[in-house]
Amino acid sequence: MPLNHGRTILVGAGAFARELIDWSLDGALEDGRAFDAFLDSSAAALDGFGHRLDYLGAIDDFVPREGDRLVMAIGDPAAKARLAALLKSRGARFARLVHPRATVARSAVLGEGVVICPQALVSSHARIGDFVAINALSGVGHDVVLGACSTLSCQVDLTGWVKVGEGCFFGSGARVLPKVTVGAGARIGAGAVVMRNVPENAVMYALPAKKL
């Protein structure tokens, strides 16, 4: 079945999914279509937001049809990895969503199911793994390697030659200085500035704001 005859389906229907629905209307999906349907534990997840998508049931129960293309709308790296593996084992195929106001270098390499939001930057020779989400205003510098299923919140800055393992999460405004390695499964808190290598599964946070 040709690509444009299948359904385009959101995996998850939280706040991030609602953003992706709006951005699909800007032509962000690689086949130029908008979303047709969604998967979620709740059939009412999109009620009240004006989005008229078909409900196809819970994610864990879904079996794709030929021609279906899915987009992962889940931010948590571990959940994203589990669900991607489950759905791929059933034959699911995933589309990329790259907003037209994002900048992606021609020499960059994007994996399957990547989501790149408005005004994000993916620079020269960066390599982006499968199911990575790069949120609005975030930057992935030249020669960065960004592991599968990782999530960058808004305004994250990964500078040149940074290496990030699989399944990492970066809070809003986090920065990683050049040539630093962030181990798989690490979580970098909002506003943190990472200057040294981070072990696998480490949790790194900046100091919170204090009343003066």
Catalytic sites, residue numbers: 142
Q: In terms of C-beta density within 10 A (0-12 exposed, 13-18 middle, 19 or more buried), how is residue 47 classed?
A: exposed
Q: Please, which residues have CB within 8 angstroms of residue 208's CB and are 6 or more apart in sequence?
A: none
Using an 8 Å Cβ cutoff, are 117 and 134 in contact?
A: yes
Q: Which residues contact 16 (CB under 8 A, 6 or more apart)?
A: 73, 74, 75, 133
What residues form DSSP beta bridges with 88? none
Q: What are phi and psi of 113, to 5 degrees?
A: 70, 20
Scored b (16 or more CB within 10 A) or e, 182-205 reads: bbbbbbbbbbbebeeebeeeeebe
